[in-house]
Amino acid sequence: MNDIATGQADLARFLDDPAGYFGHSLTRLMTVPRSELDALQRDGVRARFAQLRVAIPMLERLARQRQVAAVDALEDVVPVLFDHAVYKSYPPSLLDQHRYADLTAWLNRLTAFDLSGVDVSACRSIDDWLLTLARETPLAVCHTTGTSGSLSFLPWAKSEWLRMFGTYPVLFFQDFGDFGRPPARLQVPLNLPCVYPFFRSGGMSHTVANDAIVHIIAGGEERFHAAYPARLSADLLLLGARLKAAAARGRTAVAAGPELAARRGEFEMLQRDMPAHLARFFAEMRKRFAGQRVFVLATSNLLFTMAQNGLAQGISGVFAADSVVVTGGGKGLELPADWRDTVRRFLGAGSIHDCYGMSEMAGQFIACEFGHYHAVPWIVPFVLDPADDRLLPRRGRASGRFAFYDLLVHSRWGGLVTGDAVTLDWDGGCPCGRTAPYLLRDIRRLGGPARDGDDDKVSCADTGETYGEALEFIGQGGDAAEHQGA
């Protein structure tokens, strides 16, 4: 086989199974030489652009506008990175008027899959629409939710969720630093009890992902334990987002609509004392799995609150020391510096895997013991000048707007310009031994005048609060209410 064919085969293997390409080794993943990594990522982005430009109408339109015909260097892709607001660029009236055929036509311009034949005429809610797409297409669409009162919809393929979580046995079930020693290859599924203090299903990314977690980690529904077996309603989250937007603007009427009013009883039942419900859930998990190895996935604020309450009651070391805890929590979340130690003491887990990620990215930056978020090889990071989105040098330390290209996804365009302000160290050299570029911990939403959508996203940590506010609103029994801003 000649060198060109060998390179193409290696690239195809990397794009199909990035963790497997590096031998399923966490240490190898995090110590790829910069020259090797840049070349692999450049070829990957070049291949994805050639593949997806002809398949995704919105990308083709942007490429024509920016006069980008090919990607020959990593820098070439920056002009055709999507602004994150593109995933909510539909007219809001499509949701208000339940025009799901038109919403599907809009989404069809953002995915490589053909959605033109999907019949959504029977859909009467966002939940109906999402479930129909999941049933009739290869997609498992997820949404974000924002205080501006609109939802972003991300056309993920079901296979992409599986590929993303297929990397978890490498990223979170291995120890970094076993240089020269082949990793212990874990048999998938891992058949571990999974403790998840939220809803089993829904359209939010961390609920859509549960199907993949069941397949990769739990190995069956009987080992996946969600605090709420119900579905997290996208319609109710949209209402909660609009309530927040109304409160921010002052006295503004917000209509719930007859569809939500009809579900009042269901929402009232879920509303009843969510903190008490979670406390009972954790008590049951503690009773069932005390001293056992488990997998826990939860936001950092929830874990910290739960740990504080448990330690106050004299409870500590609940699970086995080799349990795996993966967490994040959204930008701007204020927790004490020792919150990880508090969670560790309560749960008994030897380490807490703190991550930075987002619904639009099939990968995470994973914090090391020095508090730096390290990139995985299939995420190509960029830092842009917030004033004009000019690419800042990919060397030394750069502070600005975070952007990236995600090589793992193939059903949509993986390039995105976010609303996050970051500082990225391109030269690596972290004392932990990982050589990949890393983000400093101070990650925030961009402040001041910003483009549409920059500050409108409710983080994962805020979702429960938003949901609860919507439940309270519905429980009051009116179709409209007024909220006074602070």
* Token pair 């995420």: residue: 379
457 bridge partner residues = 146
Q: Which of 19-33, 55-69, 272-286 has the highest mean pLDDT?
A: 55-69
Does the pLDDT at position 459 exceed 60? no
What is the rounded CA–CA span in Å between residue 174 and residue 193?
A: 18
Does the pLDDT at position 254 exceed 70? no
CATH number at residue 314: 3.40.50.12780
What pLDDT sits at residue 455? 43
CB-based contact 227:84 (threshold 8 Å): no
What is the rounded CA–CA span in Å between residue 192 and residue 280?
A: 21
The one-letter amino acid at 54:
V
208 bridge partner residues = none
pLDDT in tens, 17-29: 999 999 899 999 9
What is the rounded CA–CA span in Å between residue 62 and residue 402?
A: 20
Q: What is the pTM of this model?
A: 0.88
Does the pLDDT at position 259 exceed 50? yes
Q: How do 415-425 and 82-83 pair as beta strands?
A: parallel
Tokens of 461: 């940590």
Q: Given pLDDT bands bounded at 50, 70 and 90, which one contains residue 33? A: very high
Geometric angle at alpha carbon 458, from 455 and 463, rounded to 5°: 170
Mean pLDDT over all residues of the chain? 85
Does the pLDDT at position 271 exceed 90? no
Between 481 and 160, name the one with better pLDDT. Answer: 160
What is the rounded CA–CA span in Å between residue 243 and residue 252?
A: 9
List the single range of 117-126, 180-189, 399-408 with lowest mean pLDDT.
180-189
* Token pair 């502070």: residue: 399
Does the pLDDT at position 184 exceed 50? yes
Residue 218 belongs to what domain range? 5-483
Q: Given pLDDT bands bounded at 50, 70 and 90, which one contains residue 351? A: confident
| Burial 126-160, CB ≥16 within 10 A → b, else e | bbbbbbbbbeebbbbbbbbbbbbbbbbbbbbbbeb
Total domains in the chain come to 1
Mean of pLDDT values over 38-54 = 96
pLDDT in tens, 92-135: 889 989 999 999 999 999 999 999 999 999 999 999 999 999 99
Tokens of 122: 């029977």
